Amino acid sequence: MGNLTGSWRYKEPSTVEECDSTWETDSESDEHQPGGEEEDSGISESVSPADAVRGAEQLDHGPPQFGDIMESSTRMKRSFYAAKDLYKYRHSYPNYKEPRQPNEYRNLRFYLNKIPLVPDGIYIEEILTKWRGDYEKLEHNHTYIQWLFPLREQGLNFYAQELTQDEIKEFQSTREAKRRFLLAYTIMLDFFGIKLLDKNGNVARAPNWQDRFQHLNESQHNYLRITRILKSLGELGFESFKLPLVRLLLEEALVEGTLPNMRHSALEYFVYTLRHHAQRRALLRFAQRHYHPPENFIWGPPRKKRIPASGSTGTRVGKNEAVERSAGKARSPREGRNHFEREVEDTDKRKNGEWKTAKGSKVILQECRGRVDLEEYIETIPL
């Protein structure tokens, strides 16, 4: 494989504005385009690449007290490191040249139980049958996550192979690999204190949520794992699973207060793994309503620039009218009424075990209890 079509035109983004098009349009028109995918331009305040590299890890995965310091700042800025990383992911790594030599599809072969992960020598079936509930092993082993949730980028385990576009296509068409991938996903969700509810990817608190949330709030290296899991879901055909998980984590971090240390990672990273503008906007509107202090929320729509009072009176009036029309469009009654935002705001129904399907009909979400029952449940999912 070579680089992506048209990559010769790719320009490396140098600011947050160039990495993010979430608020580029505040309409719902992009939802009707194929995939609702974005062409980035930009928003919000930027930070220089040098400052971002120095501060990104501290901001998103550093000690809790650093977040407290940032909360008191009136000059909070978004991480350029995070914005650029997610920009490249959402755009399928522009200008990335894949290996030209024949690919062995090591990630697919691992998921077909033909090769073990390296360097541990563990097969996928051993993980799926013996690791569920072994929280010590899942916490302290740092080599398995790159194999369970592969990406088109190098992770910390240099024995793990990056995905290629051809391998992604093969993986998505292999039912056994996708079945095992979902089981691996449920093992990690259980580790975090979350359970998978249905084939649409809806999630809820697991019975062990209190202990696991307390651990997750204190073990912030797991936020890097969650980012990888979200990215991998999108690569391997489960893009729709991202929204329910990110929505739940935002609610726990901002509304329930069970994961307060997670909120910056959720807003800087988790939300921006979603490839659809409308989904990101709905989540950020939800977050903005519950974020404290509200003046420190830096992920919302950009403030409209004031038009200089120059030229004739007629010119000024014309410009003001244009601004008012633009503002009126942003405040259209249709705003915030798309399917994704209704889902985000419908937290009470989720707590009561109800949700809405894409067609608007209510369904009672079935709970998956026990590993055997869950395996039988996943077997019934049409992949």
Q: What are the 10-residue block averages of pLDDT along the chain, 383 residues in total?
A: 48 91 64 41 33 38 41 69 96 81 86 96 97 97 94 84 93 97 98 97 98 97 97 98 98 98 97 97 98 95 65 44 39 39 48 41 40 58 57
Give the pLDDT confidence score for residue 383 in this predicted structure: 58
Q: Please classify residue 376 by burial: count the beta carbons closer than 10 Å to its beta carbon, then call 0-12 exposed, 13-18 middle and 19+ buried.
A: exposed
Name the maximum alpha-carbon separation found in the chain: 76
Closest CA to 76 of 48, 114, 47, 100: 47
Closest CA to 299 of 257, 270, 260: 270
Give the pLDDT confidence score for residue 342 in this predicted structure: 53
What is the C-alpha to C-alpha distance for residues 164 and 377, in angstroms, rounded to an integer?
30
Pairing mode, if any, of strands 203-205 and 354-356? unpaired
Q: Please classify residue 153 by burial: count the beta carbons closer than 10 Å to its beta carbon, then call 0-12 exposed, 13-18 middle and 19+ buried.
A: middle
Give the pLDDT confidence score for residue 39 in this predicted structure: 37
